[in-house]
Amino acid sequence: MKEKKSIFFCQNCGYESAKWMGQCPGCHEWNTFVEETVSEKKAGKRTSSASGRGEKDLRPKTLSEIDLTAGHRMETGIGELDRVLGGGIVKGALMLIGGDPGIGKSTLLLQVCRELSDKGVHVLYVSGEESLQQIKLRALRIGTFTDNLKLYCETDLDDIQRVIENDKPELVVIDSIQTMYNEAVSSSPGSVSQVRETTAVLLRMAKTLQVPVFIVGHVTKDGNVAGPRVLEHMVDTVLYFEGDRNQSYRILRAAKNRFGSTNEIGVFEMRSGGLEEVKNPSEYMLDGRPEDASGSVVACSMEGSRPIMIEIQALVSRTNFNFPRRTANGTDFNRVNLLMAVLEKRARINLSQSDAYINITGGVRMSEPAVDLAIILALASSYKDIPVPADTVAFGEVGLSGEIRSVTMAEQRVREAAKLGFGKVILPNACMRSLEKLQGELKIRMYPVRNVREAIDCMLR
């Protein structure tokens, strides 16, 4: 019998080593190596009917010989998901969707299966975690399904591959990749080598059969998909499902997309009947705003091509300790400290003896520099205890000298603010050149500012 040997894998990048190391030479992360037993027996070359059902075409092709009609997109029927995917599902694409347990990954994919099966698309849903009865119970909460959807509960990858080749579905869902088992790999399911080799088999099958495949991946405590990072490099699209389980909203982001933009987001709301699309996220995020409360300012942030209005709240209070406390929820903590230093230096607002708390409502996380101006105004409003008018929107990047710098897509931001009924917008003076044609077209007053002092004076008007 062939002896088995142990190999150490990096859980972050998949680097292999014959011995354990504290720091990975590939990704330079610490304490990421795990030991796995690998058999020296090599798997024989398997002749599969997926290899083209005959001789392979080894002749290279020119660009003019490639037919793009075979790669058309298949719309899922869920507009927010289609937006994130870039317009729909591409044939032969391998798509990874990750998220916290219970966030709604399986629910979303089951709704996709329902929408496509209603259109006559043959869908195969493979589950390695739930039984057929459990899937049906969840399906009954979502709605009615046609016979175009077929369910299969199995973890053996060879059996799944044979079912796909024989059944010839037009869409495959694998839930989840950590439960799949490849007999050619001796390690246990969910290990680094199992996840990597299983994904490689699914990738070859998707490209050869031209069948789009969704695979569900669990995430670690850091928010990354469990397994080696090479998994994200192998797939065509990486989607992350974000949100707080205690709140009803869900946000779908694309961390990688070979067939579309990675800046788009999809907003959903979890209800008893499944996930429902949020057509206008701005109205949803601003629902329940306090009236005549200091420290509350509405900012406009761009997510891809979509402007979203978000409420930024600040609370500045006198501290009772030698070191004031700083807290930021929903934005970068270091960026908030930088903006507070600018506010002290350039606007003469002394925050060294005050605690400061910043919160972006709705649980949304924003990192765009365009929200800098709104954070500055919220801090100044709370410090002076002067409410900002409820019909005011602010956007702009703040520099270390206190200057307000221009941001992209200023016209889309102003139009969105006017559409939602806001009457006043505080924006960088450098953006006014691209907004001259809107001054007579929209019923909204624009106040251009050059620095933080002008912005605070404009806020007090």
**Residue 22 DSSP SS3:** coil
Phi-psi label, residue 183: left if phi above 0, alpha if psi -120 to 50, beta otherwise = alpha
Residues sharing a CB contact under 8 Å with residue 124, sequence separation 6 or more, in sequence order: 150, 152, 163, 164, 167, 169, 171, 172, 173
Q: Which of 72, 87, 74, 73 lies closest to 305 in space, CA to CA?
A: 87
Contact 157, 48 (CB under 8 A): no
The reply to whether 304 sits in an annotated binding site is: no
Contact 322, 276 (CB under 8 A): no
Residues sharing a CB contact under 8 Å with residue 83, sequence separation 6 or more, in sequence order: 264, 266, 304
The reply to whether 106 sits in an annotated binding site is: yes
**Residue 248 DSSP SS3:** coil
The reply to whether 105 sits in an annotated binding site is: yes
DSSP state of 185: S
Burial of residue 408 (CB within 10 Å: 0-12, 13-18, 19+) is: exposed
DSSP state of 143: -
The reply to whether 44 sits in an annotated binding site is: no
Q: Compute the distance between CA of residue 430 and CA of residue 428 in angstroms, rounded to an integer.
A: 5
The β-bridge partners of 454 are none
Residue with tokens 């979509």: 306
**102: how many CB neighbours lie within 10 A of its CB?**
10
Residues sharing a CB contact under 8 Å with residue 384, sequence separation 6 or more, in sequence order: 294, 460
Residues sharing a CB contact under 8 Å with residue 271, sequence separation 6 or more, in sequence order: 248
In angstroms, the Cα distances linking 321 to 336, 337, 354 are: 20, 18, 9
The reply to whether 99 sits in an annotated binding site is: yes
**296: how many CB neighbours lie within 10 A of its CB?**
22
**Residue 360 DSSP SS3:** strand
Q: Which of 165, 5, 152, 172 lies closest to 94 in space, CA to CA?
A: 172
Q: Compute the distance between CA of residue 58 and CA of residue 272 in angstroms, rounded to an integer.
A: 52
Task: Write out the binding residues.
Answer: 99-106
Give binding residues for ATP as ranges.
99-106
